Each structure stands twice: as structure tokens, then as C-alpha cells.
Amino acid sequence: MNSKSFKPRGLATAIGSMPHADPAEAGALALRYLPDIPVWPQLPNRSFLENMYAQYSEGLPGVV
């Protein structure tokens, strides 16, 4: 598939965290159930740095 031939047609994708601590397990699950659209799951049970707030709060006023 290339960028010119991709037509999403309502395909499922995912946003956000998964409850896994093992990246390989989370990736395998994402590929099993969502093979057509890439997913980059966050794994906050693995590390605090995987937390959405840690990843996206940089530059927000009042956040240290």
C-alpha cells in the first residue's frame, strides 16, 4: 500500500493507553486487531514516561 492508494473507508484505529507493560505484547495485539492503520500505543504501566501527561505537557503554561 502507498499513500496514493490508501482509502480508510471507516477502518478502526486506536488512540491512547493500553494496560500492558510489555511492548511486544501490546504491539502484537494492535497488529492482530488493527492491521490496516498504524497504532502507537502508550504503555503507562511500563513507565511513567509513557503517560500521556508526561509526553504532551511540555510547553504548557504552569506545568513544570
Q: Is the pTM above the cut of 0.75?
A: no
* pLDDT, tens only, 40-59: 889 999 999 898 888 888 88
> What is the rounded CA–CA span in Å between residue 50 and residue 6?
30
Provide the residue ranges of all domains of the chain, joining segments of one domain with +: 23-56
* pLDDT, tens only, 17-47: 999 999 999 999 999 998 888 788 899 999 9
Helix %, strand %, coil % of the chain (to 5): 30, 5, 65
Please, what is the end-to-end C-alpha distance for the chain in angstroms? 42
The one-character DSSP state at 64 is: -
Is residue 61 very low, low, confident or very high in pLDDT (cuts 50, 70, 90)?
confident
- Is 44 or 63 the better-scoring residue by pLDDT? 44
